[in-house]
């Protein structure tokens, strides 16, 4: 009987911890195929959403064809549409991380290479996109 209780408690903990966080891997990019990109979405205490992006082997934006000045991070929200939430700073780094908090609940994330930051709509080439 104790074993069944322990299994149920462990299953409940795993279930509850998975509800507040979602971690997905972006598909392989044709623009930066060596890059490995992960996104994590977490719901905070005050109903804010944290987005964290971790990359490995991502080329600097100025080394792409056509070159850009930065990687812009975009979210897609059902209620508020498309939002630019910041730039991923990559300098031919083995690893790069981006983290932001937003009040917008989003279900999709994508990355573009852009000539300038703080755009309202993407103008550059899309690097990768995933659903959360």
Predicted confidence at residue 18, as pLDDT, reads 46
DSSP code string of the chain? -HHHHHHHHHHHHHHHHHHSEEEEEPPPPSSSTT-EEEEEEEE-TTS-EEEEEEEESPPPGGGSSS--SEEEEEEEETTTEEEEEEEE--SS-SEEEEEEEESS--SEEEEEEESSSS-SS--SEEEEEEE-
Q: Which fold has domain 22-131?
A: Immunoglobulin-like (2.60.40)
Residue ranges of the domains in the chain?
Answer: 22-131
* Each residue's pLDDT expressed in tens, for the chain with a length of 132 residues: 666 655 454 544 444 444 567 899 999 999 999 999 999 999 988 889 999 999 999 999 999 999 999 999 999 998 999 999 999 989 777 899 999 999 999 999 999 999 998 899 999 999 999 999
Q: What is the pLDDT of residues 42-74, one digit of tens each?
A: 998 888 999 999 999 999 999 999 999 999 999
Rounded to whole angstroms, the Cα distance separating 40 from 126 reads 19
> What is the Cβ-side half-sphere exposure of residue 117, based on CA atoms within 13 angstroms?
10
Predicted confidence at residue 6, as pLDDT, reads 53
Count the Cβ atoms, other than its own, within 10 Å of residue 48.
13
């Amino acid at each position: 009987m104790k074993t069944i209780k322990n299994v149920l408690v462990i299953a409940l903990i795993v279930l509850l911890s998975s509800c507040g966080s979602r971690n997905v891997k972006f598909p392989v990019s044709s623009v930066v195929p060596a890059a490995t990109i992960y996104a994590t979405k977490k719901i905070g205490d005050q109903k804010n959403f944290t987005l964290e992006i971790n990359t490995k082997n991502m080329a600097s934006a100025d080394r792409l064809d056509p070159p850009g000045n930065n990687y812009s991070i975009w979210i897609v929200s059902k209620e508020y549409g498309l939002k630019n939430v910041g730039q991923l700073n990559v300098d031919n780094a083995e690893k790069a991380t981006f983290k932001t908090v937003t009040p917008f609940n989003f279900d999709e994330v994508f990355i573009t290479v852009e000539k300038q930051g703080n755009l309202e709509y993407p103008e550059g080439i899309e690097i990768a996109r995933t659903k959360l």
